[in-house]
Amino acid sequence: MKKCSIATLVLATLLLAPGCGGSRPLGHFLVNPDSPPYAQKILTPLYIVLQKGVADELTIGATSDQKLRVTNFRMSVKDALSATFSKNFQTIYFVDSVPERELTLILTSIHPSWEQNDPGLNPRARLNAHFSVQTVLRLDNAPIQAADLQVTSRLHTDAHGLPEVFKDGLRVSCERLNESIFTPEIVTRIQ
C-alpha cells in the first residue's frame, strides 16, 4: 500500500512540476492597454466581430519548456478590446456577424507565437510573445481601413514567465491595433 501511494505522489509531483505535461493552462485574463483618450468620445457605435481565426483555445510553443496552453482566449481578447476602445467610443457591441450599415471592426485572425529575443542566445532564454493580427474596419459595408500587424511584446522572459509575457503581447497588440486602425483621418471621418 505504501509503495502505491508513494508512486502516486511521485507521479503527481512530476505532472504538476513546471515544464511538464500537466502544467496549468492560462485561463481568462485581463490587460489594460494604453489608449490615449480623444478630446471627446465618438458617438457612432463600434461593432466588433471576432471571426473564426481568433481561436478560443490554443497552445503556443514547440518544445515542452516553451509550451503555453491558453483557454478562454476569445473572452480575454474581447475584454482587452473593450478596455482599449471604451475610452474613445460611447458604445461598443460585440456581435457574431458583420452588420450591413454600421462602423464595424472585424478581427479576422490573431496568431500568437514565441520569438527568441536574440537568436545568438540560448533558445530557452529571453522569449518574447509575437502576435500576428489581421483586421479590417468597415463603415456602411465598405472597408475604410485595414491592418496586418506583426507585434512583439515589450516584456521578455525565460520559460518560467511565459504567462505574463503572453499577456503583455496581447496588451501591446491592442495598443498597436488602435494606433493603426483609428488614425487621425479615420477618427475625423467617423465623428
In tens, the pLDDT along 35-94 reads: 999 989 999 999 999 999 999 999 998 677 789 999 999 999 999 999 999 999 999 999
Give the alpha-carbon dihedral of 105, 83, 176, 51, to 10 degrees: -40
Q: Which domains does the chain have, with CATH numbers?
A: 25-190 (3.40.50.10610)
For residue 83, how many other CB atoms are within 10 A of its CB?
17
d(CA 175, CA 102): 23
Confidence category of residue 158, pLDDT binned at 50, 70, 90: confident
pLDDT at 1: 47
User: Which of 97, 120, 181, 111 shows the shortest CA–CA distance to 146?
Assistant: 181
Q: How many Cα atoms sit within 13 Å of 118 on the Cβ side?
A: 7
Q: Find, among 185, 148, 43, 149, the residue nearest to 103 by Cα.
A: 43
Whole-angstrom Cα distance, residue 152 to residue 115?
Answer: 8
**What pLDDT does 19 receive?**
41
Instruction: Tell me the pTM.
Output: 0.84
